Chain A
Amino acid sequence: DTAVSQTPKYLVTQMGNDKSIKCEQNLGHDTMYWYKQDSKKFLKIMFSYNNKELIINETVPNRFSPKSPDKAHLNLHINSLELGDSAVYFCASSQGVRVGETQYFGPGTRLLVL
């Protein structure tokens, strides 16, 4: 009964391919996030959804498109993968959008683009 789960855990693919990462939370939270962690462990927010509505959209190439079919799911689709997209992608969720909310993280998806 993992709180925030991601699939797949590992993803190895060629440049130019399109891939998706899925995230699900069973905490009943309203808000979900995608973060990118680079090779130097630096963690940066990419997107956030609250009740299926996009509320945070940082400077991310438009090859990245999040989709939230319902409050419990937030998927990330990446078109035309590039070498620089290699990273660990973390999904997270929080009860709401109030400042100071605790975020709960998934185990990460390790993406390697060859």
Chain B
Amino acid sequence: AQSVTQLDSQVPVFEEAPVELRCNYSSSVSVYLFWYVQYPNQGLQLLLKYLSGSTLVKGINGFEAEFNKSQTSFHLRKPSVHISDTAEYFCAVSSGSARQLTFGSGTQLTVLP
């Protein structure tokens, strides 16, 4: 069985400050990890994903994430956030023969002026 835990439900941060959104996963087999972003009243959009290879993955809008197998984590980072980054961020996992994505509960990132 696969599961995802997003430890922070809300993260407020000031504009131009760095941010890290935490994600831990649970799976007994190899995993594929995703971060999606949901802007207000919109659908989800892929930010980045890890399938294999380099553990540091770069995505859109200046975001990056690092896959850490020993800590079963896939934290999302951005060195300097903008007001426009205010959104809900979802971590998701797909593993083994599972055809579906399992999503975390989401982290609301609010960027303050």
Considering only CB atoms, which chain A residue lies closest to B100 in the complex? A45
Tell me whether A55 and B99 are in contact (CB under 8 A).
Answer: yes
| Residues in chain A near residue B51, CB distance under 8 A | 100
B97 on the A face (CB < 8 A): yes
| Residues in chain A near residue B36, CB distance under 8 A | 105
A102 on the B face (CB < 8 A): yes
- Give the bracket for the number of chain B residues in contact with chain A: 20 to 34
Considering only CB atoms, which chain A residue lies closest to B50 in the complex? A100
Tell me whether A107 and B96 are in contact (CB under 8 A).
Answer: no
Given A99-B94, A108-B41, 4 further pairs, Cβ under 8 A: A40-B105, A43-B103, A90-B43, A104-B46
Pick the 10 closest A-B CB pairs, nearest first.
A105-B43, A100-B32, A105-B44, A43-B103, A41-B106, A45-B100, A107-B43, A100-B51, A97-B99, A106-B43
Complex A-B: 22 CB contacts under 8 Å: A33-B100, A41-B88, A41-B108, A42-B103, A43-B103, A44-B103, A48-B100, A56-B100, A92-B43, A92-B44, A99-B94, A99-B95, A99-B97, A99-B98, A100-B32, A100-B94, A102-B46, A102-B49, A103-B46, A103-B101, A105-B36, A106-B43
